[in-house]
Amino acid sequence: MSLKVIGAEVGRTGTYSLKLALERLLGGPCYHMVEVFEQPEHVPMWHAAAKGEAVDWDGLFEGYSAAVDWPASAFWPELSRAYPEAVIVLSKRSSDSWWSSASETIFSTIDARKGGDHPDWYEMVMAIFDARFTCDLQDREACVRAYERHNAEVERTAPADRLVVWEAKDGWAPRCSALSMPVPDEPFPHSNTKEEFIARTAAFQAEAASK
């Protein structure tokens, strides 16, 4: 199965809601960071990608119809070349609301895992941030600058006829239009609040520790 949609966004821009929506539209699973937690054998492949090494994208995404969120979205240029027919989605929110959400969820979780039981996961994530974002995850100015730079780069370089710029408030319509699909007669899924993120991360960590 070839990817039909590639997310070009950073985390905490509605990516989990986007995952659920794409799975509803495409009828197949959408790759997200939660898949990396569930499939730790993918960690070395993402670490290799961060170091600029060749990755078997078809093998990594076998069975998936879309890929959003980190780590996949950090490599949207490579994925857009590997899957030239795929729609590219850039989900966005205001810089202030993004920082508030990311700093209290993703970045605090990463910081807490430093020196923890899964150094390979931590090293992979930091290698990706070093190559594609910023490692100064406690520095608001550095992170917001990286966020805005990333979004501007996507909008500047992604093929205009493949790019959909989307915010959660936009709902189904922009993606359905890009995919030439009807708008579902149901509410757009909204998921992964800060509380849900923290609970889901804790559950994954507890499960991993028990193995």
With H, G, I as helix, E, B as strand and everything else as coil, classify residue 166.
strand
| Residue 87: closest CA among 25, 42, 45, 147 | 25
Q: Identify the pLDDT of residue 103.
A: 94
* Residue 29, CA distances (Å) to 5, 23, 47, 114, 117 in order: 11, 5, 23, 30, 28
Does the structure show a pLDDT above 60 at 71?
Answer: yes
Q: Which CATH class is domain 5-210?
A: alpha beta
**Can you name the residues that pair with 101 across neighbouring β-strands?**
none
- In whole angstroms, give the CA distance from residue 14 to residue 18: 6
pLDDT digits (tens, 9 = 90+) for 129-144: 999 999 999 999 999 9
Inter-residue contact 118 to 208 (CB < 8 Å) = yes
> Domain residues of the chain, as ranges?
5-210
**Can you name the residues that pair with 153 across neighbouring β-strands?**
none
Does the structure show a pLDDT above 80 at 42?
Answer: yes
Does the structure show a pLDDT above 80 at 102?
Answer: yes
Inter-residue contact 67 to 4 (CB < 8 Å) = no
pLDDT digits (tens, 9 = 90+) for 154-173: 999 999 999 999 988 888 99
* Residue 208, CA distances (Å) to 45, 76, 148, 179, 181 in order: 19, 28, 34, 37, 38
